[in-house]
Structure 1
Amino acid sequence: MAEQKPDGIDQNPITVALQRVYLKDSSFEAPSSPGIFIGEWGPTVSLNIGSKTSELGDDNYECVLQLTVEAKQGDQTAFLVEIQQAGLFLLRGLAPADLQRALVTFCPQQLYPYAREAVADLTNKGGFPALQLQPMNFEAIAAEAYRRQQAEQATAAGNAAASPEANH
């Protein structure tokens, strides 16, 4: 519980603030160009996404949102884009569970529009139509990952209880 002065002013206010957004790393490859530009454009696009956080001290955290986008035209790679969109966040006064949730959902959610813009810009500059990634709900993604983790743990616990070695 936050301490309060006698006049009711909170001594430990909660602060959640984005301090800075920056592109930490980016890469664009078009290994099949210029031949890939000939013919009808109808790629299969895959997206891998992840994030990592680092505590920097004084309630400051870096969050890095990592996106890897690959477009294939048949069996040829049309382009590969890798983005590390980063941000500095001030997260003060949060309970540990709320801090973890902010690092996993809130921070990546704030960075994602910048990463989407970087992907669209790089694909367009590479001679391809600007790739517009769909919006994402990081709260739903985190909830699904937690549900899967719980199911895997329950399955593992059930398998351990059913194994012959567990009954000895």
Structure 2
Amino acid sequence: MSSVEPENEGAQLQPAISVIAQYVKDLSFENPKAPESLRPRESGPQIAVGVNVSSRQRSGSEFEVDLRIDVSAKSGDDVVFNIELLYGGLFTVQNVPQQHLHPFVNIECPRLLFPFARQVVADAALRGGFPPLMIDPIDFVQLYQQYMVRLQQAQQQQSQPN
């Protein structure tokens, strides 16, 4: 008589992520020169986009992640418009080894939030009287790597004697 092992026995569980909720935590649209800023102009404004991610563990497998997007549109020295969005999500993360948890949460969670936050920014620009602003896709792996480099540099500076 031979023994039959269940198919899943001995197999590693795959990392899993699920979105519990996503939401706008804070949204600001400024159009300080309206209505003059809405007049046709020879060239479009220079647009700068800043992105930041922060996360915190809420319970064993629950994480809250904030995706901050700051947009500044200028024409010369004049501000055409500013958009500040803090978009949050609550996630359940399972089957991720502890040593991989921080990068997983700070890369995969904002990657899931981004399309929705991008739409909020586009809608804010449109409702402010401008064409919808479609932010280019963001490489959250590169953003995380840059964060880790800055963190290591800060730690090295703190550990050096004055």
2:59 aligned with 1:57: yes
Q: In the superposition, relative to structure 1, how do residues 12 and 21 fare at CA in structure 2: closer, same or farther (>3 Å)?
A: farther
- Write out aligned runs for 1:1-168 (5 A): 7=6, 8-9=8-9, 13=13, 14-40=15-41, 41-147=43-149, 152=153
CA offset digits 1:9-55 (Å, max 9, x no partner): 47994432122221121111101111112341510111111111121
Displaced runs of 4+ in structure 1, greater than 2 A? Answer: 6-15, 143-150
RMSD: 2.7
CA offset digits 1:140-168 (Å, max 9, x no partner): 22224435655x47x869xx6xx9x9xxx
Q: TM-score, normalised by structure 1?
A: 0.79
Q: Which shifted more, 16-25 or 101-110?
A: 16-25
Q: In the superposition, relative to structure 1, how do residues 62 and 149 fare at CA in structure 2: closer, same or farther (>3 Å)?
A: closer
Structure with a larger share of its residues in helix:
1
CA offset digits 1:48-77 (Å, max 9, x no partner): 111111211141111010111010112111
SS at match of 1:32: coil
> How many aligned residue pairs are there?
155
Q: For residue 104 of structure 2, what is the amino acid of its counterpart?
A: A
Measure the CA separation in 2 of the matches of 1:98 and 1:18. Answer: 19
Q: In the superposition, relative to structure 1, how do residues 71 and 22 fare at CA in structure 2: closer, same or farther (>3 Å)?
A: same
Q: For residue 26 of structure 1, what is the amino acid of its counterpart?
A: L
Q: Tell me the percent identity.
A: 27
CA offset digits 1:97-125 (Å, max 9, x no partner): 22111121111111111111001000000
Gaps (5+ residues) in structure 1?
Answer: 1-5
Q: For residue 45 of structure 2, what is the amino acid of its counterpart?
A: P
* Aligned twin of 1:3: none
Measure the CA separation in 2 of the matches of 1:156 and 1:83. Answer: 32
Gaps (5+ residues) in structure 2?
Answer: none
SS at match of 1:57: coil
Measure the CA separation in 2 of the matches of 1:28 and 1:133. Answer: 16
Q: For residue 65 of structure 2, what is the amino acid of its counterpart?
A: C
